[in-house]
Amino acid sequence: MRRRGLTLIELLVALLLIGVAVAGLVALWPFGFTMTRLSQDLGVGYNVARQEMERAKNIGYLVLPEASWTAGYDGLGNPTADEDPHYTATASVTTIPDEAGEVHSRCLRVFYVRVVARDMTDAVFETTVYFARGGI
């Protein structure tokens, strides 16, 4: 005589297999959120650094002071005056003297920018650009 239907052991094995598959998917969920946040921080950090470079470029080679400054940006990369911004961009400008050690309008200027996200200790993005009197 043949019995139709599932036995209790078959049902428990099927539930065990489904449970293992669901547990694997649930374990991947935080990893996906972490990777999404990191890629967003990298993309926004890149755009914040570009904004700082464009700001320095628009000031102009001869007027750009040899100094450092810090600017705050919100989570979308918009400038903000908040005391605790999501991104902090630190930029600095230095001039490389010529072979004789003199600084004049034909010298290269080094523009360095470092962007750090609020939740991170390492830089999200950092770059160095050389300015010349004729442009970048």
Q: How far apart are CA 81 and CA 43, in angstroms?
A: 21
In a domain, 1, yes or no: no
User: Does 106 fall in a domain?
Assistant: yes
The one-letter code for the residue type at 122 is D
CA distance 40 to 34: 10
Domain contains 136:
no
pLDDT per residue of the chain (136 residues) written in tens, 0 to 9: 567 767 888 889 999 999 999 998 898 999 999 899 889 989 999 999 999 999 988 888 888 888 999 999 998 999 999 899 999 999 999 999 988 888 888 888 999 999 999 888 789 999 999 988 766 5
Q: What is the pTM of this model?
A: 0.74
Classify residue 75: in a domain, yes or no: yes
Q: How confident is the model at residue 64, as a pLDDT? A: 86
The whole-number pLDDT of residue 47 equals 94
How many domains are contained in the chain?
A: 1
Contacts of 104 (CB under 8 A, 6+ apart): 98
- Contact between 60 and 71 under an 8 Å Cβ cutoff? The reply is no
Residue 61 pLDDT: 81
- Helical spans, DSSP H, in the chain: 8-59
Give the structural domain span for 79.
Answer: 8-131
